[in-house]
């Protein structure tokens, strides 16, 4: 069985070891995008400069509200054909699935 060199001993083109190359990057487990040292430095500089607390509070958290009262989540079972029809109608009207369902319900109730 062939033995491979240890991670720190694998040399890439340019003369750097694989370990040294990987140490140059930081990996985020949340979005699987590579975060470079430069990006980390930008974030650190931004944090040191401070944030406008009122602006952060004004933005709010979570999804934007649709009304004064909390909305209810309703599960609905649809056949593949019904779902395809819903998606086609939503796409044709530049709407999300939820928007299309709400529009259909509003039309039904009118």
| pLDDT tens for the 110 residues of the chain, in order | 555 555 445 555 566 666 665 655 555 555 566 778 888 899 889 888 888 888 777 766 666 667 767 778 889 999 999 999 999 999 898 888 988 998 988 888 86
pLDDT at 7: 46
The DSSP secondary structure of 17-76, one letter per residue, reads BHHHHHHTEEE-TTT--EEEHHHHHHHHHHHHH---HHHHHHH-SSSPPSSSSPPPP---
**Dihedral over alpha carbons 22, 25, 29, 32 (to 10 degrees):** -100
Using a cut of 0.85, tell me whether the model's pTM lies above it: no
């Amino acid at each position: 069985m062939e033995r491979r060199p240890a991670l720190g001993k694998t040399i890439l083109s340019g003369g750097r070891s694989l370990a040294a190359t990987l140490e140059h990057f930081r990996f985020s487990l949340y979005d699987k995008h590579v975060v470079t040292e430069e990006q980390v430095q930008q974030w650190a500089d931004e944090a040191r400069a401070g944030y406008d607390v009122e602006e952060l509070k004004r933005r709010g958290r979570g999804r934007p509200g649709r009304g004064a009262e909390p909305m209810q989540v309703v599960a609905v079972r649809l056949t593949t054909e019904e779902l395809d029809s819903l998606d086609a109608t939503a796409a044709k009207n530049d709407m999300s699935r939820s928007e299309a369902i709400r529009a259909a319900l509003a039309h039904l109730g009118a």
